[in-house]
Amino acid sequence: MRKVSYSIRTINSLGKLLEKVTYVQKTLEQNKYFLSNIERPIANDELIFFLKEIGTIYNLNFPIIDVRCNDNKFLRGFTNSSVSPHTECCHESDIPTWICLYCIESSDHGGEFYLIDTSKVIKSMDSGQIEYFKHKKYEILSPRSKTLNRDTIIRKHPLFSNDILVYTTIGFKSEHRHGYSVKDDPSREKLQQLNEIIMSQKKAYSFHKWRKGDLLIFDNHYFMHGRKSFKDIKRHLKHIRLSVENLIK
């Protein structure tokens, strides 16, 4: 699997980045992600202002999610545990097109982030598996155990129409909490194989060590993402989901 090589350009301020919106859009289109380090801190409203140039805010009621350790032990993102590979909101019928992560504070040890190119995962599946996951529709449980969506795991990218995976390895072991509800399903074995394909490529992932000021936007259909565990509790990312409306002109 091709490694994602995270090359970072440093930009002085968000104002400078705003001058380069077309460049950001082009980079997203070509590389499926954009990563930069912004030297001057960005306030929430500035971040939203900039991101509205890229797409539509996915959930206007909660535009920014603070990813850091809090008392919500229910979702692993809010602990210092690892988060295994997933497509963001894959239980929704309308999943976000882009995810933006902005680093307020990084951890001293651990907490590295990775992107997994799902078209490369598909390339390492055999043709039987590909056909199976193109046709079998699964129910996915949301973190609150509601079944919201039934769809295939291999789908067409909504913008580029190549095959991509929409999937989560989260919750697979804990049965009906979050993820695929396949406790007694014969296809559990197929999902187990898929998990293994994804995990076996872990050596090929590139890990990104967050630095304060890093701004990452990535294509949530093209990539699954995850992170390693970390020790301290100061690590803090802002998480904003975007959908595509602005791009379809």
Ligand X SMILES: O=C(O)CCC(=O)C(=O)O
Q: Is 216 in the site for ligand X (CB under 6 A)?
A: no
The listed partner (Fe ion, ligand X, none) that binds 227, CB under 5 to 8 Å by sort, is ligand X
Contact call for residues 211 and 103 (beta carbons, < 8 A): yes
Interaction residues for ligand X, span 46-65 (CB under 6 A): none
Task: Return the one option of Fe ion, ligand X, none that residue 67 interacts with (CB less than 5 to 8 A, by type).
Answer: ligand X
Using CB under 6 A as the binding rule, whether residue 67 contacts ligand X is answered as yes
- Closer residue to ligand X in complex, CB, 153/237: 237
CB of 204 to ligand X, least distance (A): 19
CB of 194 to ligand X, least distance (A): 19
Q: Check binding of 219 to ligand X (CB under 6 A).
A: no
For Fe ion (CB under 5 A), the number of binding residues is 1
Pair of tokens at residue 228: 């390693």
Residues 6+ apart with CB under 8 A from 108: 231, 232
Identify what 55 binds: Fe ion, ligand X, none; CB under 5 to 8 Å per kind.
none
DSSP 42-100: --HHHHHHHHTTTSEES-TTS-EEEES--S-TTSGGGSSS-EEEE-TTTTSSS--SEEE
Query: Least separation, in Å, of the C-beta of 142 and Fe ion?
Result: 13
Place of tokens 């994804």: 198
User: Which residues 66-125 are close enough to bind Fe ion by CB under 5 A?
Assistant: 88
Q: Does residue 172 contact residue 90 with C-beta atoms inside 8 Å?
A: no
Residue 221 to residue 159: CA distance in whole angstroms: 10
Q: Cβ 162 to ligand X, closest distance in Å?
A: 23
The residue type at 103 = C
Chain center to CA of 85: 8
Mask: binding to ligand X, 77-106, rule CB under 6 A, as x and -? x-----x----x------------x-----
x/- mask, ligand X, residues 104-143, rule CB under 6 A, reads ---------x------------------------------
Nearest to 125 by CA among 133, 136, 137, 113: 133
Task: Report, in Å, the least distance between residue 195 CB and ligand X.
Answer: 17
For strands 236-243 and 137-141, give the pairing: unpaired
- Give the shortest CB-247-to-ligand X separation in angstroms: 21
Q: Is the dihedral of CA 69, 203, 138, 173 positive or negative?
A: negative
- Contact residues for ligand X, defined by CB under 6 A: 67, 77, 83, 88, 101, 113, 225, 227, 237, 239
- Contact residues for Fe ion, defined by CB under 5 A: 88
